[in-house]
Amino acid sequence: MVDQALIEKAAAQLRAAAESGVVCPPIREILGTETDIDAGYAVQEHNIAADMAAGRKVAGRKIGLTSKAVMEQVGVDQPDYGTLFVDMEYGDGVPIESGRLLQPRAEGEVALVLEHDLDRAPHSFTDIISATAYALPSIEIVDSRIAAWDIRIVDTIADNASCGVYVLGGKPVRLQDVDLRTITMRMDIDGQTESTGEGAACLGHPLHAARWLADMMSSRGTPLKAGDVVMTGALGPMKAITPGASVHCDFGPLGTVTTSLEGIDLKGL
């Protein structure tokens, strides 16, 4: 078990990086472990509690590291989860202020919005179907407070599963109208195709990824609730983006979603 003082030191380092815009060394160097998942979540939960105490509103949860391609990119072998806040959410076509991100990378995902709570683990596949109001095409802009994305599983978990911001399409699709396992995803950056994938790349099925998350959140005492947004994980490799870049994802029958990374501050508009 990692000492509480080290948990708090690691949490403070991540918060300082986020607030200053200056990336920090890997958290594993403070915690003394690359693989202690519980220590990583303890750091994450410490900062999430501080954010909530400061008035940030939870919008849902994200699943990270669901695709084999992304696992290989960052050198891990299992998924993780993080917390989404309302101030991370953007609508289709709305530009993102580049100044709020440090090392952004884009990935195409399926987002779910829940109609019912998922608080009776273990959950069945049909529990996830019954609890889902609709699906949306989405882009997650992942980010890392850790220099050069030098992360292991404990680092990304501690860093809120490398959350940045996320963009949701504006046309809800009912599950009976789309097969999420067979949909294809094409992500274009500045008009060039940079990443492709399919629903089956997300732990075999985006709904299976959501099932994993529902069970995990229940086991940790913070079950998924009606109204939550669930970002189910990347369908293809993530790609770095820079200020001025435009990102467009096409998910076939699920629809499209677009954003851009602007070098302006929209917070006061």
DSSP 24: B
Model confidence at 257: pLDDT above 80 = yes
Q: Residue 124 burial (CB < 10 Å; 0-12/13-18/19+)?
A: exposed
Residue 74 binned pLDDT confidence (cut-offs 50, 70, 90):
low
Residue 72 pLDDT: 76
pLDDT tens digits for 188-234?
A: 999 999 999 999 999 999 999 999 999 999 999 999 999 999 999 99
Instruction: Enter the tokens of residue 90.
Output: 């953007």
User: CA 76 to CA 187: how far, in whole Å?
Assistant: 23
Domain ranges of the chain: 58-262
What is the C-alpha to C-alpha distance for residues 4 and 248, in angstroms, rounded to an integer?
A: 43
* For range 108-120, the mean pLDDT: 97
Q: What is the pLDDT of residues 137-151, one digit of tens each?
A: 999 999 999 999 999
Distance, in Å, from the CA atom of 78 to the CA atom of 237, rounded to the nearest integer, reads: 16
3-state SS assignment for residue 167: strand
For residue 123, the 8-state DSSP code is P
pLDDT for 268 equals: 35
Residue 266: band (very low, low, confident or very high) from pLDDT cuts 50, 70, 90 = very low
pLDDT digits (tens, 9 = 90+) for 1-18: 789 999 999 999 999 999
Task: For domain 58-262, give the CATH number.
Answer: 3.90.850.10
The pLDDT tens digits for 14-44 are: 999 999 999 999 999 999 999 899 999 999 9
